[in-house]
Amino acid sequence: MIIFVVGGSKSQKSNYGELIAEKLFNKGNLYYLATMKPYDDEDLKRIEEHIKNRSGHGYITLEVPRDIISVLPMLSKDDTVLLDSITSLVTNEMFNNKQVVKNVKDKIITEVNAISKKVSKLVIVSDYVFSDGIKYDDFTESFRKELGIINCEIAKMSQVVIESSFGNIIVHKGKERINNEELIECI
């Protein structure tokens, strides 16, 4: 099962993703695929906060800022995986070694799909960066377009799609699955 949690900056989406992954976890390992690569002190602080929040919850943290397919040999079908976040993954894949790599969507979708086929439960967190109505430079727009396409593809392959907005939850897809999986307590 794939559960996709999307939301704006500081919308509590990572917290909801963690709660859902922990609720789904019942055997195997509970993995946290951390994709954020720190670029400044604010990033380091955010990473420290995330580590503190999940401390004592049984996560095995794997730092994978790029090439998430590399974790595949470690995973088994009974595992629960939280992938946080697609936004950071797209950033790291597109802006690698001071060069811009366009069209990372196929690579990322292929890798997410491979992980989803290997484990029984995959929770994916991503940002929603499309509602501000601002026109950006071509460089930024190409990033937003890649992220948007990837988010749409992940939503299509997910059984449950949840939006976190200012701490409120909107279930766009799979409401019946949430009730069946007893995830309603998380949201």
* Active-site residue, 172 included: no
The residue annotated as part of the active site, out of 4, 50, 162, 174, is 50
Q: Is the pLDDT of residue 184 over 70?
A: no
148 annotated as belonging to a binding site for a ligand: no
Q: Is 159 annotated as a binding residue?
A: no
Q: How far apart are the first and last CA of the chain?
A: 18
- pLDDT > 90 in the chain, percent: 61
Taking only the tens place, the pLDDT of each residue in 91-139 is: 999 988 778 888 899 999 999 999 999 999 999 999 988 777 678 888 8
Helices (H), 55-182: 86-94, 105-118, 138-157, 175-180
Residue 120 assigned as binding residue:
no
pLDDT of 130:
77
Where do the domains of the chain lie, and which CATH numbers do they carry? 2-186 (3.40.50.300)
| Distance separating alpha carbons of residues 80 and 173, to the nearest angstrom | 20
